[in-house]
Structure 1
């Protein structure tokens, strides 16, 4: 046996335990779930034995082509999650970068204390924090009562199903937006904006996730060569110019990592929705991950629920590839 062949064989022998574990606990369940998405399994018995109707791509077709409640719920969940992603990812990234710049400053005293304080919400149970936020933003909670005293909103503001854009226009839809839009929803429904309840969940998530991304940016900032900062300072560059032309380009790999993890995490949001709202009020906090769970484990339509999860997986992959293309390094 040649030396190269022996090295390849030795390499496969070393990685074979990991390959077997990943194949047994990741690849095999994914393939099993893919089969379930092609059936109408109701959770009784085994989906891999005879007697379970095979429906092919009908579960996927119901989400896009058929005019029914399943498509309406799925499109509402996609709309809600799109607003959620569009707000959470930029806010948490900007806040994490700002906090990292703050605690990396040599002028800041007690930097260890502030690093710990900013990171603490990230290691706290998301369920526990969601319960606390639920009490604060409930109809009798502190925030609701405070806004009621200020005359900003009434005591039922958290239960208002209208989006914030609807609230700004006092729910008067322009005639041009009342026509039917893509996938069975009107343009006014697509452009409603997140509800107040979803905005509360967005505030919760931004607060709890920024600490983790702050540590990633902080590690990258500490790897920036001091000589580059000093050279830019000697060349007369101001603080903003040093950040824009020296620091920020060196943070590109970390920025891509933070945006990618944020994108994946926001499209998979589930626990905050499950604890705080369960899709209410009026489906304005319904997300694809929670809809998949509800369809499978409450409506006992495991095929459709699994199909939703695979569509969500495809959305995440496509958006990640697009983000990688958009943030790639371009030659001058």
Structure 2
């Protein structure tokens, strides 16, 4: 018998659009890459150079007259005793208390509003959603000016406190910390003459008494403003996530006899974990970068108790013309934000997948589960 042979022709690579997908992709992406390079990457690299130089803001930072000082700007802020270190640590303390209050308060308020507006039988939902979201889209300058009048000595807040027999403070002229005032009211320590154990020992240029002061009265007014203006944005995020939860899940939990609190704790909140992480991350980044309200309402006063790293970086660069130190503060602030975001991500991780993941790693190494 004759054996038939089949001759295979070589596969011809086709041209056309599919043959040039890589080139076409780079053509479409090139404008974005160029824009990001010009307005993001290059400025960051130049800022990194400025933080390592003695540039004073005159002329080009790349000129031969600008000297390289290495890490001297960072040392002046972090390790060298002096005004620069004291001011920066004061701003870190102020911003720490600001974050500690703003992030939980705005998250809880936003979640509460979202849960309320997600009810099926609630009337005028569109009105309430618009009303709660409106402060978030209002100009921060306009809202800050309004709050200056509201928290003035003869403003609405002090007038309301006077109705219940409370003498309101001078909000933007009182540098006392609320923790110091609370300890003084409870008789634990004398706010005017604190114990030497707290004042004679210092950490990073500030005494223990300064670190434990808490947010000042003026900072509390700014905190109230920020919580009121940002809760609406996060409310919409939570509301969108709540509407994505299948109705069958809620109904199944209700048929199983779960109470409202149990459904919230064991059904709703676990399904809101990704949105919760997003809200907390955005809140954390926004609070460490606070600038507008500080610039308009207090400019760091009274007694530098509302000074923040972002505002201090601005004044150091544009007013004191110490651009190296001002830029170094920005990079330190960036490192703080990244570190806290990673810590927050680790804390909010899904622990239910850890055991299977560890088991797979053990098997991959040749061990036993």
1:306 aligns with 2:327: yes
Structure 1: tracts of 5 or more residues without a match: none
Give, in whole Å, the separation in 1 of the partners of 2:277 and 2:195. Answer: 39
Which of these residues, 315, 326, 329, is aligned with residue 347 of structure 2? 326
Contact 1:260 1:320 in 2 (8 A): yes
Which residues of 2 match residues 107-186 of structure 1 at below 5 A?
Answer: 107-147=121-161, 152-153=166-167, 156-170=170-184, 171=191, 172-186=193-207
Give, in whole Å, the separation in 2 of the partners of 1:148 and 1:291. Answer: 36
- Give the length in aligned residue pairs: 332
Give, in whole Å, the separation in 2 of the partners of 1:26 and 1:202. Answer: 31
Contact 2:153 2:168 in 1 (8 A): no
Give, in whole Å, the separation in 2 of the partners of 1:230 and 1:154. Answer: 49
Greater gyration radius: 2
2:242 aligned residue = 221
Give, in whole Å, the separation in 1 of the partners of 2:43 and 2:332. Answer: 16
- The TM-score normalised by the length of structure 2 is 0.86
Shift in Å, 1:92 = 0.2
Shift in Å, 1:281 = 0.3
2:252 aligned residue = 231
Give, in whole Å, the separation in 2 of the partners of 1:9 and 1:329. Answer: 40
Shift in Å, 1:140 = 3.4
Which of these residues, 65, 69, 74, is aligned with residue 83 of structure 2? 69
1:96 aligned residue = 110
Shift in Å, 1:166 = 1.2
Give the match's secondary structure for 2:262: helix
1:14-71 alpha-carbon deviations (Å, 9 max, x no partner): 3222111111111111111111111111111111111112211111000111000000
1:104-125 alpha-carbon deviations (Å, 9 max, x no partner): 1112111111001100100100
Shift in Å, 1:276 = 0.2
1:87-133 alpha-carbon deviations (Å, 9 max, x no partner): 00000000000000001111211111100110010010011000010
Contact 1:37 1:307 in 2 (8 A): yes
Give, in whole Å, the separation in 2 of the partners of 1:306 and 1:23. Answer: 20
Give, in whole Å, the separation in 1 of the partners of 2:116 and 2:271. Answer: 18
Structure 2: tracts of 5 or more residues without a match: 1-11, 185-190, 356-369
Give, in whole Å, the separation in 1 of the partners of 2:55 and 2:24. Answer: 43
Contact 1:201 1:272 in 2 (8 A): yes
2:3 aligned residue = none
Which of these residues, 291, 298, 315, is aligned with residue 270 of structure 1? 291
Going from structure 1 to structure 2, the CA distance change for 1:158 and 1:107 (only over 3 Å counts) comes to same
Contact 1:145 1:155 in 2 (8 A): no
1:22 aligns with 2:43: no
